[in-house]
Structure 1
């Protein structure tokens, strides 16, 4: 039996005022101005060949951490402010939906499953699972998936499909048919057939096990659907984030960094192309921003329109220090609290499962992830109530099936911190 998460109590989310968010954003911008001033001093010392002052470096690192902390605070405020209370709108919920919600509520609170058992027998749902448990109401499943899209960085930018089977197979055209211009009476030669490949995306089981006290379950003022969605949100998001970046495809989705890589000049289908910095574990000393420009233009124009940078917090901290040939910082803070930071006019997505800058690591990805990476969700989130394994707490073994992998190998490019 998997290890349960920490028991929970009711955690109603307090509404976040616009004033709090505005103050947090103002603090973020103040910290960024201080960061630029300190970094300018460091660069001036290096230009005078005096070396970098350790106190300046320490202050720069402290300001860098402060920027990260302030941005996380703003993101948290934003998610809470946009999160509606889970519920059923009067006049828009079917009788079957209300019946399912009432039966699910009775099962979670008291363990009575006769209502859910009868509903699933009647529905013969494609989401039924021989391992046991019951499907959550559709509104609860929708809320869980919506929350995941808010806090899971790759899910927020990838292509997401729902399927009813355990494997999603997608044919893909590697090369289209031959085409050309002809005159009205000119002979037409037969065109070549397109080259097709089939990509397969199996779905794997992901679980979370929130725990509740009897007091929480007996409290009728607590919205059980909302509580469950909030409890599994973080656990699912953390596991998904790791798998979508670096998962090996063994009982988990396959991350884009798990695929074979090849120098962009020799790019081939089913491999991700990369550009090397030319320096082992670092940016080039002279005009380091040029290598990022090279990476941008390895991507075809059709992909660049919706491209994004993906990197972790540490890498983003290093990029904040870089300037272009015109002495402008290439990393720009978000223009508003609900916007993203920009790097060379492309949004930056922070994914903590990306590797740090080190010898031969692929620490930065750039591309159109909506076209490049596919996430497959099998219909149905299931809950199995367990009042016995961790008395006096009640565990809720919550599962969903999800898969993922690269669907267009030309849509994502990598920056390798190595010589070649």
Structure 2
């Protein structure tokens, strides 16, 4: 570990000197060294999780406390950023702005996580979903011992006849639980239109909007006008799978809810894969992603109504206020009511620094739990897979996601119990068929980092 010069040490340490020492004591876990105790520590390389904690108190589990901490941090951020904008920027000031920005990200994430937990606890008044007791018992027996009742055998036979594949349908309760978790984790699924089907695929019919009209006098002839043509657009399904496993001994002796365990494993993996595919999927055994429909992208010509139009940010490597306002006002008024800005959380830090012509910050934090932060009054939705701020990146999408994107779900989750392939583990091979694509490119606009 390299040593720092006295001037460099004083400059770096000055960041911490305005904070109570008791707060600094909690900066690092036991295997880290307190920066005030060890002057040989390279402060600029401290993990962000540690330095972010230096600008806020210990994270509370009370939403009101978190909002108070967030608002206080935001005021500190604005004060430091104003100094930067006035030409007083230096290394220490820039680091302070970045740390405050990171602290707000952490606090926002904590608020979101607690809000989700509260919402889950309040779901159905805290009561369990109604269950088919006989079916659930049969399914549990199948999981533990591969013992199938006559009812399960009938379901397996029906599944085979319908889809040409063997397997058991998961209980309706389990299927509903998984779908709920996917919606909670995958933001595109949460805001998009979800179409459940029972067939092998889904096709939507569109017109070319080429209908003619004209003005005529009272007694003038009415010649024929052009009639719009129709075209179809297919949304093929891809198969999403997960294959978690456990030893037979654990399954035999476990006191935990096996169905809940499997649902948790599968929902996390499916949500991760869906999030990637709904955003950038190439359509090969997976959905067609939103970003592939943007002007110049692979599927820009796929939709009969055209592509998702691009608005430039106005700067070669940054988001600007004019760029944000441009993408907002480029969207047709018909879609404004449900429009949101979809952007990576890491890019929100750049939004927080933007001001309007009146020198007011256009980004504003949420004022109550469950509500998003806003930019020029527009709600912001975190999409982890969106590109970050960088030259020529599509850094944000703005519009009505429900009108723009459709998720196609094939009804039913299939679970195959496999005790043979990987002994002594029992694998639970779980599949779900899902597709997706843009149904109305006019309802969404894209922001590109470009002049």
Q: Same fold (TM over 0.5)?
A: yes
Aligned residues: 383
Do structure 1's residue 375 and structure 2's residue 375 form an aligned pair?
A: no
Structure 1 residue 168: Cα displacement = 0.6
Q: How does 1:124-143 map to 2 (within 5 A)?
A: 128=163, 130=165, 132-143=166-177
2:192 matched to which residue of 1?
158
2:72 matched to which residue of 1?
30
Query: Greater CA radius of gyration, 1 or 2?
Result: 2
Q: SS at the partner of 1:194? A: coil
Q: How does 1:218-367 map to 2 (within 5 A)?
A: 218=252, 221-261=255-295, 269-283=305-319, 288-367=320-399
Separation in structure 1 between the aligned mates of residue 94 and residue 294 of structure 2, nearest angstrom: 37
Structure 1 residue 338: Cα displacement = 0.8
Separation in structure 2 between the aligned mates of residue 269 and residue 143 of structure 1, nearest angstrom: 36
1:396 matched to which residue of 2?
428
CA 1:262–1:278 in structure 2 vs 1: closer, same or farther (change >3 Å)? farther
CA 1:355–1:332 in structure 2 vs 1: closer, same or farther (change >3 Å)? same
Instruction: Considering fraction of residues, name the structure with more helix.
Output: 2
Q: SS at the partner of 1:175? A: coil
Separation in structure 2 between the aligned mates of residue 99 and residue 187 of structure 1, nearest angstrom: 72
CA 1:182–1:415 in structure 2 vs 1: closer, same or farther (change >3 Å)? same
> Could you state the TM-score of these two structures normalised by the residue count of structure 2?
0.77
Q: SS at the partner of 2:287? A: coil
Unaligned runs of 5+ in 2: 1-59, 298-302
Q: SS at the partner of 1:366? A: strand
Q: SS at the partner of 1:231? A: helix
222-231 or 329-338: which moved more? 222-231
Q: SS at the partner of 1:141? A: helix
Separation in structure 1 between the aligned mates of residue 127 and residue 345 of structure 2, nearest angstrom: 32
Deviations along 1:173-220, one digit per CA (max 9) or x if unpaired, are 331644578788776544432233311101101112233355653467
Contact in 1 for aligned 2:246/2:426 (Cα 8 Å): yes
Separation in structure 2 between the aligned mates of residue 87 and residue 297 of structure 1, nearest angstrom: 45
Contact in 2 for aligned 1:277/1:418 (Cα 8 Å): yes
> Could you state the TM-score of these two structures normalised by the residue count of structure 1?
0.83
2:32 matched to which residue of 1?
none
